[in-house]
Structure 1
Amino acid sequence: MPENQGGNSQLVLRLVTGEDGASRLMLAGDCTLAALCHQLQPLSAELAGYATNPELHWDITGIAHMDDAGAVLLWQAWGERHPRHLALQPEHERLFNRLEKMPPPPAPPARDRLWPVTVLGKAVFLLWEHLTNLIMLSGQLLLDSIYLVGHPLHIPWREISANLYRTGAQALGITALVGFLIGVVLSFLSSRQLQMFGADIFIINILGVSIVRELGPVLAAILVAGRSGSSMTAQLGVMRVTEELDALTVMGIPHSLRLVWPKVIALGIAMPLVVLWTSAIALIGGMVVAEIQLGLGHQFFLSKLPDVVPIANLWLGLGKGVVCGMMIALISCHFGLRIKSNTESLGEGTTNSVVTSITVVIIIDAIFAVIFSDFGLR
């Protein structure tokens, strides 16, 4: 504890020679953090210079107030030991005795030259843990589906309906807005390039294939992953924090059947509908710009669209929606069930859920692109 912190007068050093011919360094003033804040570094260097003389007599009886910071300053200048000749006040002696009895600081840890291998290994083991847990959760959902087929009265229709509304109906606004703007931007940029080659008519091909086959499903999946996926993770995380999951376990209600299964089924149903809605709005946005920029009427656009975009592209986009929707719900619930009973874990789990879901959506889109590279294209 600091002692006598009342003064703020500057610490003064005065080197004198005694009657016996010995050099004496006299300190007077206040040796506190408040008094030393503006001269801490130069004073520390000056005291260290004086401490090089082992025969120097230190007289600090003139120090009126001293706190822990001042005592540490002198103690470090003395080389963390009492000087041979020291005169001080009794109340200050307790500070130095306490510093003398303090254990030495721990040695800095040795630098690990293999830290990249260690970090990579931990990341691999963490990835393996997530994959095994996801496989176990998927297997449990499969067992729940088999059970519900044999017991249709136990199907949680209310949970499915509620999740359909939250993940589907409430997502129509944001997906429509973003889809329309994407269609406008894509049509505007494409029309400027096509005008240079006199190929205005091919704007329908570009918009139709790119939106129906790729942009529509991916855009809708990313928006749903950021909006509905994070909501699912946060919901399960809050239930963990408030111990509702523990209460369900005590009552014998399985988490997968009442919480995870309805979310996966609901998002698997809602995603293709959201994909269809997003693609339609994006095509409308592109059609409006095509009519303004290129003079292509909306009637001609709509009549030509089925001819240049085979229906197989629509089924491919809807299939992506089903797979992405179920994976987003599965990943979100997986991270939600892993959240611990603290708010820091809740935020970290929600962030990891969204990032992982978006990454998986892009991977699924790449897999579909490779497998169905010749599907629906002329």
Structure 2
Amino acid sequence: MLTESEPTLNCCPDAPERIILQGAWIAHRLAKAHRLDELQKTLNNLQQQPGRIWDLRQLTGLDHLGAQLLWRSWGRTLPQQLLCTEQHEGLFRRLSQLHPDQYPPPVKARLTPLMQLGSGVITFFHHAGDMAVLLGQLVLDLMQFIRHPLRGPWKEISANVYRMGAQAMGITALVGILIGIVLSYLSAQQLRTFGGDLFIVNILGMSIIRELGPMLAAILVAGRSGSAITAQLGVMRVTEELDAMRVMGIPHGFRLIMPKVLALAIAMPLIVIWTDLMALAGGMISAQALLGMTPEFFIYKLPEAVPILNYWIGLLKGVTFGILIALIACHFGLRIEPNTESLGKGTTSSVVSAITLVIIADAIFAIIFSKVGY
């Protein structure tokens, strides 16, 4: 049996008008060689030069795709000088009997609104099932970690706390100060109209400590650390590092998932405190500039204006948001297929889903604690 070789198209050195086709002009060889466009261009150039002798006797294989490629370059008619086997000639004869109008038009998939809704529901339940499995595995890994703390991934946890917490202090401080200044400026404009300058402490304290601080920190961490987690796991999937870990008996959950979840659960409350301080500092700067309120008076009135329970609610939000962001990021990272396109889509979906889930969780907190802390 002849071995299939790469499809080629050459001119005979002794007779330049003679075109010799060699190799296997079949579908998977043409696709594997990535030469389909190159061969198409060469055939189109030869089409402008009549009087050529086409020698197909050295072909090791010719299927419908290769025959169609030649047939179209010949103008849907056999050349005057064609050297080929009877089998190949019969293939071209069948193509000549097929009228161009008889080619079936490409079928376009049409999704009705109901089908799109059903597809979305099925996809949602697939994600929910995978998240349930991931959460269950996390609980088992935490139980193992509690039973054998000395064997735990302490280095991974500390490294993730540093990357997700300490290295995020710069951006959270900048955004916190700017949000504090903007919120204080807008509030001061309205309060000055009604003579309620002192209530700016209440507005800034309640809005930042209870709502804006945890939300800003969570959104920034989701965009910064959540995308990094998804990209890291996705690259490990593309480079087959996850498969190598499985072969070596290293559990993904215990060494990859659990350290990231614990790190964000520890780092997020600290980031929330840092963001609150920076936002309140920006509010104090703006209040002093617009209303003449000294920072000492602002700090003195803050505990009276904001009950301590709101502070603990904000920290509880930070822990919850951190766990949610880590789980969502790991979930999408493990679902990435071994190609670069899936990596980009998975990272984008991870960030969008994490921010959406954080907002939903914040709304649930607002309903549960609607009568607490005021």
TM-score calculated relative to the size of structure 2? 0.76
Judge conservation of contact 2:191–2:200 (CA < 8 Å) in 1: yes
1-structure distance, mates of 2:158, 2:309? 30
* Closer, same or farther: CA 89–169 of 1 in aligned 2, 3 Å: closer
Cα distance per residue 1:60-93 (max 9 Å; x no partner): xxxxxxx968948xxxxxxxxx9xxxxx99479x
* Distance in structure 2 (CA, Å) of the matches to 1:139 and 1:115: 36
Aligned to 2:210: 213
Would you say the 8 A contact 2:210–2:311 is kept in 1? yes
- Per-residue deviation at 1:374? 1.0
- Aligned residue in 2 for 1:105: 103
1:123/1:4 CA distance change after superposition, 3 Å: closer
- Equivalent of 1:5 in 48, 70, 82: 48
Which of the numbers 181, 185, 189 marks the counterpart of 1:184?
181
Matches within 5 A, 1:37-116: 71=75, 90=80, 101=98, 104-107=102-105, 109=107, 112=110, 115-116=112-113
| Percent of matched pairs sharing the same residue | 58
Query: 1:121 is paired with a residue of what secondary structure?
Result: helix
Distance (whole Å) between structure 2 residues aligned to residue 286 and residue 278 of structure 1 = 12
Corresponding letter in the other structure for 1:5: Q
**Cα 1:198/1:148, change in 2 over 3 Å:** same
* Pairing partner for 2:153 from 141, 153, 156: 156
Deviation at 1:102, TM superposition (A): 6.6
Equivalents in 2 of 1:4, 1:257: separation in Å?
63
Q: How does 1:225-374 map to 2 (within 5 A)?
A: 225-374=222-371
- 1:119 Cα deviation from its structure 2 partner: 1.0
User: Structure 2 vs 1, CA of residues 111 and 269 (structure 1 numbering), >3 Å: closer, same or farther?
Assistant: closer
Report matched runs for 1:118-197 at 5 Å.
Answer: 118-197=115-194
For residue 313 of structure 1, report the CA deviation from its aligned partner: 0.7
1:193 shift after superposition: 0.9
- Segments of 4+ in structure 1 off by > 4 A? 67-72, 88-92, 96-103
1-structure distance, mates of 2:109, 2:288 = 66
**Which shows bigger deviation, 301-310 or 100-109?**
100-109
> Structure 1 residue 150: deviation in Å?
1.3
2: distance between equivalents of 1:203 and 1:150?
Answer: 50
**Residue 245 of structure 1: how far off its partner (Å):** 0.3
Deviation at residue 106 of structure 1 after TM alignment: 1.8
Superposed, which structure 2 residues align to 1:27-42 within 5 Å?
Answer: none
CA shift for structure 1 position 5:
2.6
SS at 2:372 equivalent: coil
1:111-162 CA distances to partner (integer Å, 9 max, x unpaired)? 85x7111111111011101111111111111111111211112111000000
- Which stretch of structure 1 is more off in the superposition, 136-145 or 216-225? 136-145
Which sections of structure 1, spanning at least 5 residues, go unmatched?
A: 8-66, 73-81, 83-87
CA contact (8 A) 2:230 2:329 kept: yes
* Number of residue pairs the alignment of both structures matches: 301
Distance 1:148 1:371 in 2: 32
Distance 2:177 2:252 in 1: 38
Separation (CA, whole Å) in 2 of partners of 1:4 and 1:146: 72
> 1:375 is paired with a residue of what secondary structure?
coil
Larger radius of gyration: 1
Output the CA distance in 1 between the equivalents of 2:241 and 2:289.
56
Quick one: distance in 1 between partners of 2:226 and 2:79? 68
Q: Which amino acid aligns with 2:152?
A: I
Amino acid at match of 2:315: L
**In structure 1, how many angstroms separate the alpha carbons of the residues matched to 2:278 and 2:47?**
75
In the alignment, what sits opposite 1:64? Answer: none
CA distance in 1, matches of 2:48, 2:72: 10
**Which letter does structure 2 place at the counterpart of 1:275?**
V
Q: Which residue of 2 aligns with 1:26?
A: none
> Would the alpha carbon gap of residues 99 and 273 (structure 1) be closer, same or farther in structure 2, given more than 3 Å must change?
farther
Unaligned runs of 5+ in 2: 1-42, 51-70, 83-88
User: Offset of 1:6 from its aligned partner?
Assistant: 6.4
Determine the structure 1 residue equivalent to 2:201: 204
1:109 Cα deviation from its structure 2 partner: 3.7
- Paired residue for 2:62? none
Q: Is the 8 A contact 2:47 2:74 kept in 1?
A: no
| Aligned residue identity for 2:242 | L
- State the alpha-carbon separation in 2 of the partners of residues 91 and 123 from structure 1: 58
